[in-house]
Amino acid sequence: MREIEKDLTAMKDTSELMLDLAYSALLYHNTDLAREVVELEEKTDELYDSILNRTLEKAVKDEGSKRGLVYMKMADSIERIADAALDIADVVLRDIELHPVLKKSLKESDAVILRKKVSPRSKLAGTTLGESKLASETGMWVIAVKSKDGWIYGPDENTNIKAGDIIFTRGPEESERTLDKWVSH
């Protein structure tokens, strides 16, 4: 059951990031963020299938499991959230124009989510988030890191950042220029 719980946590974290990215993709008509949502949805589908298969195997061995039913319901709910995020991203990818009222209400947000690739010359490359003081210096919080080894959701001050990593940040729109300097220089 530990592996199932681990997959459920990964699925939850992935779907949360998908919603953040989809919302920002819609808000700023950012196709790069929308494509990330599509990629993450595929990962969510794989986790969903894994959870269902493991839960069913466990139920057969244990002759039924109430916990397994709960896991399956949770996985199904998370899958629906991921699918909803995908639907939002699809609006951007298909270049559908938003109604002006919806566009105005979305623009009233005071935070942006940005996707940035860490350059080898970056102040971040080769440091931890804590050592870099990125959040306190730029006002941008790293909410996820995509590296060649996979995804890190909710990174903390001990998370190492390497050149080539892609960071996803949340913060005030006016901090984007400062963040650009941090990741590219």
- List of domains in the chain: 2-103 (1.20.58.220), 110-184 (3.30.70.1450)
Q: What is the pLDDT of residues 7-40, one digit of tens each?
A: 999 999 999 999 989 988 888 788 999 999 999 9
pTM given for the model: 0.75
Tokens of 75: 């996985």
Tokens of 104: 């105005």
- Taking the C-alpha atoms of residue 10 and residue 46, their distance in angstroms, rounded to an integer, is 11
Q: Where are the alpha helices (DSSP H) in 62-162?
A: 66-93, 100-107, 129-132, 134-138
Q: What is the pLDDT of residues 151-183, one digit of tens each?
A: 998 899 999 999 999 999 988 888 888 999 888
**Number of residues written out for the chain:** 185
